Structure 1
Amino acid sequence: MRGVLVTGGSRGIGRAVATAFAAGGDRVAVQYAGRRADAEETLRQLPGAGHTLLQADLGEPGAAERAVAEAVAALGTVDVLVNNAAVAPTSETRHPIAQTPLAHWQRAWRRMVDVNLLGAADLCWAMAHHLIERGAGGAIVNVGSRGAFRGEPDFPAYGATKAALHALGQSLAVALAPHSIAVTSVAPGFVATERQTAKLSGPEGERLRAESPFGRVGTPAEIAAAVHFLASPAAAWASGTVVDLNGASYLRT
């Protein structure tokens, strides 16, 4: 039985990831920022016992280190970190360069960098030190995005921070391999989370489904299954990889 810290676990991909680990017999610490009711619902749905909730705004200094420390205190040890929390593309965070005032541009960039990249980097640091001090191996899985490769013209800070997260994972994979810590990333395409329900049921839904030759978008459970495998000892040799999970909607060369 492992201890697993899943950030951004209040719903969507994070909830599915937490559920996959709990179903596999692990104890899970579910981090959330502001959606407590949703996080409590995630906790209620998790099979097994010994799970916990952690509140932290990962864009604030010191929050990442506290989250890891609280997860260790609640679970006893943490063996797996899943960096899923992010400031996501929404109508409020949209910032195309030609139409966005400087003040909004700067706010979008700073908030996304603080949470999507710096918060994740600090979590990796705290997790790595916890494992190294224990003399234990473990796994870190970063949830990036297809947008890191194909570009995000309406959300350039999102695309840039996800690309940086992938690069961070590859650097840490090399640095942490001598400590038996595997670091991988996944790059999902469009996923049918609760947040996307209106978009998928509206006029844009047909276009989004047509992006993939499968004629549909991904599901949180599909992303969670890949994350769960990458965090397993069987996937240690995959350390340093970025796994595309986009239904062949975008092919890298």
Structure 2
Amino acid sequence: MRTVLITGASGGIGAAVARRFAGAGDRVAVHYATNHAGAEETLRSLEGTGHAVITGDVGVPDGGLNIVAAAIEAVGPLDVLVCNAAVAPGPSNRHVIGETPYEQWNAAFRQMVNVNLLGAANLAWAFANHLIGRSSPGAIVNVGSRGAFRGEPEFPAYAASKAGLHALGQSLAVALAPQGISVTSVAPGFVATPRQLAKLDGTEGDALRAQSPFGRVGTPEEIAEAVFWLASPEAAWSSGAILDANGASYLRP
């Protein structure tokens, strides 16, 4: 049995990842920032016992330290960190260069970079030092994005923050390998999370499904399966890898 901290687990991909680990007999710390009800719903859906809900702001300087400490207090020494919490693209943070006022542009970059990149970096620091202090191996899995490779013209801060997250993971993979800690990333394409269902059911739905030759979009469970494998001891030799999980909707060299 492993003990796993999953950030942003109040719904969508994070909740599916929590269920996948719990279903394998692992103990899970379900992190949320604002959606307490969603986190409690995730907790109720988990198999097994010993799981807990924790909260904290990933986007502040001491957020990573506090979240890791809270997880250790709630579920015990950690073995796996899944950095899933993120500020995702949406109508309220669209920022197209040439159209967006500077204040709005700057705010979008600060918010997305603070959470999606700096928050993950701080979590990784706290988690890695926790493992090193125990002389214990472990795994970090970052949830990145296809957008880091293909670009997001309406949400460039999102693409930039996820590209930075991928690069961070590769740097940490080299730095932490001597300690037996693997670091990988998964880069999903469009995923049918609850917040995206209206878009899939609307006028954009057919075009979104047509992005993949499979004629559909991904599911949270498919991304969770990728995360679960990357966190396994069997995947340690893949440390530094970025696993595309986009249904062949975007192929990179």
The residue aligned with 2:119 is 119
Unmatched runs of 5 consecutive residues or more in structure 2: none
The aligned runs of 1:1-253 (5 Å cut-off) are 1-253=1-253
State the TM-score, normalizing by the size of structure 2.
0.99
Following TM superposition, by how much is the alpha carbon of 1:153 offset from its aligned partner in structure 2, in angstroms?
0.3
Partner AA of 1:82 in structure 2: V
AA matched with 1:173: A
Distance across 1 between alignment mates of 2:206 and 2:18: 30
Give the distance between the partners of 2:109 and 2:181, measured in 1 at CA.
31
Q: Deviations over 1:43-71 (max 9, x none)?
A: 11011101111111111121110100111
Runs of 4+ aligned residues of structure 1 deviating over 4 Å after TM superposition are: none
Which amino acid is the alignment partner of residue 166 of structure 1? H
> Given residue 28 of structure 1, which amino acid in structure 2 is its aligned partner?
V
Give the aligned residue type for 2:180: S
- Whole-Å separation in 1 of the counterparts to 2:52 and 2:162: 27
In 1, the alpha carbon distance for the partners of 2:215 and 2:76 equals 44
Between the aligned partners of 1:185 and 1:54, the Cα distance in structure 2 is: 23
TM-score (norm 1): 0.99
- SS of the residue 2:74 aligns to: helix
Structure 1: gaps of 5 or more residues = none
SS, match of residue 92 in structure 2 = coil
Q: Distance in 1 between matches of 2:167 and 2:143?
A: 12
Amino acid at match of 1:44: R
Give the residue type in structure 1 aligned to 2:151.
G
Structure 1 residue 241 displacement after superposition: 0.2
Q: How far apart are residue 75 of structure 1 and its match?
A: 1.4
Q: Percent identity?
A: 66
Instruction: Report if aligned partners of 2:61, 2:122 keep a CA contact under 8 Å in 1.
Output: no
CA distance in 2, matches of 1:145, 1:237: 22
Could you tell me how far apart the structure 1 residues matched to 2:58 and 2:29 are?
A: 15
Instruction: Quote how far apart the aligned CAs of 1:93 are.
Output: 1.1
Deviation track 1:143-192 (CA, whole Å, cap 9, x = no partner) reads 00000000000000000000000000000000000000000000000000
In structure 2, what is the Cα distance between the partners aligned to 1:71 and 1:38?
18
1:20-46 Cα shifts (integer Å, max 9, x gaps):
000010000011110111111001101
